[in-house]
Amino acid sequence: MKKVLITRKLLRSNEERLSKLWDAKLNLNDEIYSQNQLIELSKDCDGILSSIVDKIDEETINKLSDSVKIISNFAVGFGNIDIKTARKKNIIVTNTPDVLTNATAEIAMLLILGAARRASEGIKWVRNKNWKWSADFLIGKQLEDSRLGILGMGRIGRAVALRAKSFGMKIHYHNRSKLNSDLEAGATYHNNIQSLFSVSDILSINCPATSETKNIINKETLEFFPQGAIITNSARGDMINDEAMVQALINKRIYALGLDVYNGEPDIHSGYLNQPNVFILPHLGSATKKTRTAMADLAIDNIEEYFKTGKCTNIVN
Ligand code: DGY
């Protein structure tokens, strides 16, 4: 029987399925494994079902037992795994695309709304029980008729565009290449970030974390935005240079920021915590029962397909 290490606790239905399929080494206490623990625990395994919190870097991969042939990441993003080293060691890495598109787009809309309508400040006032309604109390920005820039018009970016249009927003985007008109659905393409940022009253970051997108929002590129723009990030923390962003919030160059993801998660740059115009969530993009169940099912399907056929549809390396 094949043996699989599952690095984090999953929803019960997924764990039951895993236990029926294989000798599944579950993590019932949901402990976060160190790299050494991961290497040790997967010693006799044929595969690993990993999560975004497992940093499976070059050194870790090189120390994995030769029996490990697949790392099935329970996420669409796979920046936590050194996929090139895995390839060299003949380990396939897979991800879970599609199934989390809508849940993540919903969180992207929540970030946009939360930042634009000053939700963090509002919540604080209500909790402190000292607010009173007045005509100019917590005036925010209206989405209707504003321009939404989408950085990364893949599946999630397009799902954000669809939702934002129903709020009356005008959609602009930048992608490595222009989409065909069906996928574009009326959005305006910009072939460089300066052009996109300069028309973004609100920016939604939905691109993958790569060496090209790391720190793409920095001191220089923040200057491209209209005065008082809003920036939101539901992709990965690496895209934002936190020092530059905190400064832009302090000097009001940027009106508000909405974040679901962070550099060095679960840490957060301390400069954000004192800013009233920062709306923050703890990486909830895919956190619905429907989506987390579907993601784990797909991560399991990926291993099953590989064990049966030696191939897998969702290989990323
Ligand atoms: C993903 O799938 O990359 C999500 O961020 C995980 O929650």
CA of residue 166 to ligand 1 center, whole Å: 25
Distance CA 152, CA 235 (A): 10
Tell me, yes or no, whether 56 and 204 share the same domain: no
Minimum-distance ligand 1 atom for the alpha carbon of 100: 2
- How much is the mean pLDDT over the chain? 97
Residue 99 has a pLDDT of 98
Closest CA to 292 of 7, 9, 8, 10: 10
> Span 30-49, mean pLDDT?
98
**Helical axes 119-127 vs 101-116, angle rounded to 10°:** 70
Residue 316 maps to a domain: no
Tell me, yes or no, whether 236 and 137 share the same domain: yes
Tell me, yes or no, whether 117 and 201 share the same domain: yes
Tell me, yes or no, whether 71 and 144 share the same domain: no
Q: Identify which of 286, 297, 302, 314 to mutate to test ligand 1's pocket (most ligand atoms within 8 A of the CB).
A: 286
Distance CA 306, CA 301 (A): 8
Residue 314 maps to a domain: no
Tell me, yes or no, whether 193 and 269 share the same domain: yes
CA of residue 213 to ligand 1 center, whole Å: 17
**One-character DSSP codes across 70-106:** EEEESSS--TTB-HHHHHHTT-EEE---STTHHHHHH
For residue 236, indicate whether it is catalytic.
Answer: yes
8-state DSSP, 64: S
pLDDT per position as a tens digit, 170-224: 999 999 999 999 999 999 999 999 999 999 999 999 999 999 999 999 999 999 9
CB within 8 A of 83, min separation 6: which ones?
A: 93, 316, 317
Give how far Cα 118 sits from Cα of 110, 111, 138, 140, 279, Å.
Answer: 12, 10, 7, 6, 8
Q: Which residue has the tokens 């787009």?
A: 105
Residue 279 has a pLDDT of 98
Number of domains in the chain: 2
Tell me, yes or no, whether 54 and 145 share the same domain: no
| Lookup: tokens for 23 | 């000798």
Distance CA 165, CA 187 (A): 10
Residue 62 has a pLDDT of 98
CA of residue 87 to ligand 1 center, whole Å: 22
Tell me, yes or no, whether 143 and 60 share the same domain: no
Tell me, yes or no, whether 93 and 129 share the same domain: no
Residue 317 has a pLDDT of 97
Query: Which residue puts its alpha carbon closest to atom 6 of ligand 1?
Result: 75
CA of residue 285 to ligand 1 center, whole Å: 7
Residue 292 maps to a domain: yes
Residue 33 maps to a domain: yes
Tell me, yes or no, whether 113 and 217 share the same domain: yes
Residue 7 has a pLDDT of 98
| Lookup: tokens for 241 | 């240079």
Tell me, yes or no, whether 73 and 17 share the same domain: yes
Closest CA to 241 of 251, 227, 231: 231
Residue 25 has a pLDDT of 98
Query: What CATH number does the domain containing 29 carry?
Result: 3.40.50.720
Q: Which residue has the tokens 């625990």?
A: 41
Residue 95 has a pLDDT of 98
pLDDT per position as a tens digit, 53-110: 999 999 999 999 999 999 999 999 999 999 999 999 999 999 999 999 999 999 999 9
Tell me, yes or no, whether 93 and 224 share the same domain: no
Residue 317 maps to a domain: no
Residue 32 maps to a domain: yes
Residue 160 maps to a domain: yes
Q: CB–CB of 200/102 below 8 Å?
A: no
> Span 142-151, mean pLDDT?
98
Q: Identify which of 72, 99, 100 to mutate to test ligand 1's pocket (most ligand atoms within 8 A of the CB).
A: 100
For residue 72, give its domain range. 3-97+288-309
Residue 156 maps to a domain: yes
Residue 56 has a pLDDT of 98
Tell me, yes or no, whether 66 and 163 share the same domain: no
Percent of the chain whose predicted confidence (pLDDT) is above 90? 100
Q: What is this structure's pTM?
A: 0.96
